[in-house]
Structure 1
Amino acid sequence: MIRTLADLLSSIIREELPKLDNAPVKHAPTIGDMYEGLSSDILNRALPDGLGLRVVSGFARDGRGHLSGQLDCMVVRGEGEKIPYTDSYVWHIKDIIAVVEVKKNLHSTELRDAFTQLNTVSEIENAYYQGADEEPDGPDQNMTPSVRTFAEMTGRIAWDGERPVKLSYEDDALLQTLLLEQVSAIRVILGIHGFKSERAFRLSMVDYLERNVGITGFGPANFPQLIVSGGYSLVKANGRPFMTPLVDGWWPFYFSTPENPLRLLLEFIWTRLDEMYGLGGEAWGEDLETEVGRTLLSFRAVRVDGRSGWAVQTHDADNETLDATPTMKQWSPEFIGYEEFVLLTRLHQGKDVRSDDPEIMSWLESRGVAFNDVRDRLLKTRLVASSLQSLKLIAKECQLAILPTGEYIAAENSTGRLDRWISRRMEN
C-alpha cells in the first residue's frame, strides 16, 4: 500500500510542479508559500484516515514557553493554539509527529539553513523531555521498539525481564539515542529541486559536517531522519523503519539513495503511526523488497580526555560505484541449519537456551557442533540476542518453516511478510 500511495503522490507532484515552476510570480515569500502549500497537500493525502491527524504550519513549544523557529509543515494530533489573524499554530511538541522544512531548491546553503531550523525543534524536545519542572505526559512511552532495535543492531539485550542490563558507555549512548529517536518528532528537509548527482549531495553533507566537527548539535539525534534534494535522499538508519547492524562497533547511521523520496517519507511517518496506533500488516503491502543503502556516515560514541561525544567516519563513493549499486534487493527469510532451527523452536516455545544447559550441550556435542558457532549464526539472523549465557528471542513474531526442499527458514512475520514470500515461492 505504501508503494502504491507513494507512486500516486509522485504522479500528483509531476502534474502540479510545472505549474509552480512556471508561475510568473517573483515575490520570494509567495514562491515559498506555493511550494509549502503543495507539500502540505501531499502530506495530508499521505495520512491514514480516522486518526485525527492534520497538517499545519507554525511553531513547536514545550510547557515552559520555549518556541522553535517557524516551521513550514507539522503533522500533528490533538489540539494546538491558533495564532490570531494568521493561518499558523503553536503546537505542543509531544503532539507533533513530524516536521517538514520545504525548499524550492536544496543545495549547500539551503541545507545548512534547514538543518539549523530543525535543530530548534530538537532544542524544544530536549527542554521538554529533560525538564525537571514538566513531566512528559504523552501516551507513547513504551520503549520496547527502541530496546528491540538496540538488540537487532548489537546482538545484545538491554532489558532482561523486569530489569535493565548494565551497559558499556558506548552501548548506553546508542540506546539513549534510539530512545530519543522513538519519541522525538520525525524531522524532514524536503527540497523539491536540488543536486544534479547523488555524489554531489553526499559531498555537500560531508563538507557541512566537517565544518562543524566538535560543535554541539551535530550528534546522531540532531540529524533529520530524511533529507531530500530533488531525486536523491539522505536517510537515517534509526530502526524506524530502516535498521543497520553495527560494523566493528560503528553505527552505519546515514545512507543515500535515489529511491522515490515520497515512499521514504511514508515509511518514516507510517512506522511512527504504526507504533502509536497499530496500522496492521496490510499497510505495508507485499513488502518483499528491501532498500540497499549507500552508507555515507558512521558514528560511534567515544570518551576522549574525559570528554564524551561521537566519533564520525565518512564513506566516499565515486559516481561509477553509486551507479553500479542497486537501490533495492529481493527480501528473503534467513536460511538456517538444523541446529539453529531446533534452538529457535525452543525459544519460540518459551523455553530457555543457555550455554550451560547440560541437555543442549550434550545434544550439540553429539552432532559435532559447538554452541558458540550456533549462537553466532543465530545472532546474525537478528531474531535473537544474547544476555550473558542465554539467548533471547527479540522478534515480535518469529515464524519458522521447513520448505519442500528440506531447507529450514526463519523470519520476522508480524506483517505477514514470510507468508507472502512462501506463497510466491510456491507459485514459482
Structure 2
Amino acid sequence: MITNIADLLNRLREAEIARIDAQGIKHTSTIGDMYEGLTSTILQRTLPKGADLRVVSGFAETASGAMSGQLDCMIVSGSGRKLPYTDAYVWKVKDVLAVIEVKKTLFSDQFATAYDQLRNLLELHWTDFSATHGDQIDIGPALQAYRLTTGLESPRHADAAKLPFHLEMLYRTLVVEQISPLRIIFGYRGFASEGSLREAFFDFIEAHSKQRGFGGSSLPSLIICGKISLVKLIGMPFTAPMDGERWLIYASSNQNPLYFLLEFIWTKLSHRFSMPEWFMSDLTLSQLSPVLSGKAVRKGDVSGWEYWTHSPDLSKKSDLPEPGYWEPVAVSEYGFYVFNLLCQREKLPRTEEFMGQTAEEKAEFQLLLDRRIIGFDGDQIVLLTNQAQCVFAPDGQAYVGENDTGRLTAWLRKRFFDNSR
C-alpha cells in the first residue's frame, strides 16, 4: 500500500510543478516560496490523522534560546510560537522530527548550502539534547539497526566504548540517527541522471574530507533530486549488511523518491506514535544501488572517517524489475531445531552441532546469518530479532521470520489466504 500512496503523492507533485511553471514567475524568492509551499502540502498529506503533528517553516530553538537558521520545512509536534506578521514559527528543537531543505534546482552549490543548514541543525539539536536529557531513553530502534547492520548482538550502552573503534562509532552514529530529526534535501530539478548525482556527491565528500562535520552521523538522511534519491542506510528503515569492517552508508535509486520520503518519515513517527498496521507490516522492498561505504578510524589522537565510493551499477528505470517483496526464510528440520533451541535458551555455543555438519546445513546456517535471523555475541550464537517466529505453512514448509511489526503474518496472509477464496 505504501507504494500506492507514494504514487498518488508523486502524481500530485508532478501536476503542481506544472502548475507552478505555468505561472511564468521569474522572481527567485517567489518561486522558492511556491516550491516550499508545495513541499509543505505534500508533507502534510503524509502525516497520520489525529497525531499531534504539523508542517511549519521557520526556526528551531534550544531550551537556552540558541536558534537555527531559517528552515524551509519542519515536521513538528507540540506547540511553537508564530512570528508576528509572517507565516514562520519558532519551535523547540526537541519537538522537531524532520527538517526538509527545499531546492527548485539542486546542483553542487545548492547542495552545499542545504548541507550546512542541516548540519547546523543537527549540532543545535545535540547541544540541546545533552543539556536537557538524562541517560534514560529508549534506543531500541538503534540497537536493532546495529544488529541488522553488523550481524552482531548490540552492546549495553555503557559498554559501547569497549567495542572496536569502527563498531563503536557505527553504534553511536545509529543512536544519533534515532534521536535526531530526519535531515532531508529535497530538490525538484537538477542533476540529469542518477550517475551525475552520485558523482557530484562523491566530489562533495572528497572536497570536505579533511574537515569536521562530515562524518557518518553528519550526513543527511535522504537526498532527492528530481526522480533520483540517495538513501542513507541507517537501519531505520533501510539497511545493508556490512562488508567486512565497512558500513554501506548510502545507496541510490530512481524508484519513486516519495516512497523513500514516506518510509523515512513514517519510520521516525513510529518511534513516538502509533502507526497504521498496514504500514508496520508492509512487504515492499526497495531497489537500491551501492554508493558510499565508510569506516571510522583512529590513528593516535586523531580520528575520522574513511570513505570508499562504489562504481555505478545502474539500470534505466524501464529495465528495472517490479519492486521486490519481503519473504521469511524457509528452513529444514535442522534450521527449525536451531531456531527452537535459541528461543528456549537464548544462546548456543558456536559448535558444529548448531552451525551445521553437512554442506546443506552450513548453507542454511549462513542464510539465517545473512538474513539477520541469527548472529553472534562473542563465542555464542544468538537471535538478532525482536520477535522472530517459526510457522508451519499450508504448503508443509517451515518458515522463520521477524514478526514484531506483523510482517510474517502479512506474508502468510498474502501468500496462502488472500487468493484462496
Deviation at 1:119, TM superposition (A): 1.2
1:416 to 406, 410, 417: 406
Identity %: 36
Match of 1:174 in 2: 170
1:213 to 202, 209, 212: 209
Deviation at 1:273, TM superposition (A): 0.9
Match of 1:276 in 2: 272
User: How far, CA to CA, are the matches of 1:24 and 1:318 in structure 2?
Assistant: 39
Deviates more, 1:188-197 or 1:319-328: 319-328
Match of 1:334 in 2: 329
User: How far, CA to CA, are the matches of 1:372 and 1:425 in structure 2?
Assistant: 28
User: How far, CA to CA, are the matches of 1:34 and 1:2 in structure 2?
Assistant: 26
Deviates more, 1:389-398 or 1:190-199: 389-398
1:310 maps to 2:305: yes
Does the CA contact (< 8 Å) of 1:152 and 1:385 recur in 2?
no
Inter-CA distance 29–248: structure 2 relative to 1 (3 Å threshold): same
Q: TM-score when scaled to structure 2?
A: 0.91
User: How far, CA to CA, are the matches of 2:216 and 2:50 in structure 1?
Assistant: 33
Does the CA contact (< 8 Å) of 2:386 and 2:402 recur in 1?
yes
Deviation at 1:256, TM superposition (A): 0.6
Inter-CA distance 292–12: structure 2 relative to 1 (3 Å threshold): closer
Does the CA contact (< 8 Å) of 2:292 and 2:309 recur in 1?
yes
Extract unaligned runs of 5+ from structure 1: none
Deviation at 1:66, TM superposition (A): 1.9
Task: Name the SS of the counterpart of 2:268 in structure 1.
Answer: helix
2:345 to 351, 354, 365: 351
Deviation at 1:417, TM superposition (A): 2.3
Match of 1:392 in 2: 382
Does the CA contact (< 8 Å) of 1:58 and 1:72 recur in 2?
yes
User: How far, CA to CA, are the matches of 2:237 and 2:95 in structure 1?
Assistant: 20
1:401 maps to 2:391: yes
Inter-CA distance 309–324: structure 2 relative to 1 (3 Å threshold): farther
Cα deviation code 1:36-72 (max 9, x no counterpart):
1111111111100111101111111212222211100
Inter-CA distance 344–365: structure 2 relative to 1 (3 Å threshold): closer
Cα deviation code 1:154-190 (max 9, x no counterpart):
1222236x97463121111110000000010001111
Deviation at 1:121, TM superposition (A): 0.5
User: How far, CA to CA, are the matches of 1:218 and 1:363 in structure 2?
Assistant: 46
Deviates more, 1:179-188 or 1:144-153: 144-153
Does the CA contact (< 8 Å) of 2:188 and 2:226 recur in 1?
yes
Does the CA contact (< 8 Å) of 1:158 and 1:164 recur in 2?
no
Inter-CA distance 277–170: structure 2 relative to 1 (3 Å threshold): same
Task: Name the SS of the counterpart of 1:179 in structure 2.
Answer: helix
Deviation at 1:336, TM superposition (A): 2.9
Does the CA contact (< 8 Å) of 1:343 and 1:353 recur in 2?
no
Match of 2:25 in 1: 25
Task: Name the SS of the counterpart of 1:86 in structure 2.
Answer: coil
Task: Name the SS of the counterpart of 2:293 in structure 1.
Answer: strand
User: How far, CA to CA, are the matches of 2:184 and 2:396 in structure 1?
Assistant: 46
User: How far, CA to CA, are the matches of 1:67 and 1:327 in structure 2?
Assistant: 45
Inter-CA distance 197–66: structure 2 relative to 1 (3 Å threshold): same
Match of 2:37 in 1: 37
Task: Name the SS of the counterpart of 1:339 in structure 2.
Answer: helix
1:288 maps to 2:286: no
> Which letter does structure 2 place at the counterpart of 1:408?
A
Match of 2:98 in 1: 98
User: How far, CA to CA, are the matches of 2:318 and 2:300 in structure 1?
Assistant: 42
User: How far, CA to CA, are the matches of 1:20 and 1:80 in structure 2?
Assistant: 30
Cα deviation code 1:213-250 (max 9, x no counterpart):
12111111111111111010111000111011111111
Does the CA contact (< 8 Å) of 2:249 and 2:294 recur in 1?
yes
> Which letter does structure 2 place at the counterpart of 1:416?
G
Deviation at 1:135, TM superposition (A): 2.1
> Which letter does structure 2 place at the counterpart of 1:18?
A
Match of 2:242 in 1: 246
Deviates more, 1:203-212 or 1:396-405: 396-405
User: How far, CA to CA, are the matches of 1:355 and 1:373 in structure 2?
Assistant: 18
Task: Name the SS of the counterpart of 1:245 in structure 2.
Answer: coil
Please, what is the CA RMSD of the aligned residues? 2.8
The 5 Å alignment of 1:2-401 reads 2-130=2-130, 134-136=131-133, 141-159=137-155, 164=159, 166-284=162-280, 287-317=282-312, 326=321, 328-348=323-343, 350-355=344-349, 376-401=366-391
Deviation at 1:392, TM superposition (A): 2.7
Number of matched residues?
417
User: How far, CA to CA, are the matches of 2:295 and 2:80 in structure 1?
Assistant: 38
Cα deviation code 1:78-114 (max 9, x no counterpart):
1112222221111111100000111111122211111
Inter-CA distance 67–384: structure 2 relative to 1 (3 Å threshold): same
> Which letter does structure 2 place at the counterpart of 1:423?
R
Does the CA contact (< 8 Å) of 2:104 and 2:188 recur in 1?
yes
Deviates more, 1:43-52 or 1:326-335: 326-335
Inter-CA distance 313–327: structure 2 relative to 1 (3 Å threshold): farther
Inter-CA distance 21–384: structure 2 relative to 1 (3 Å threshold): same
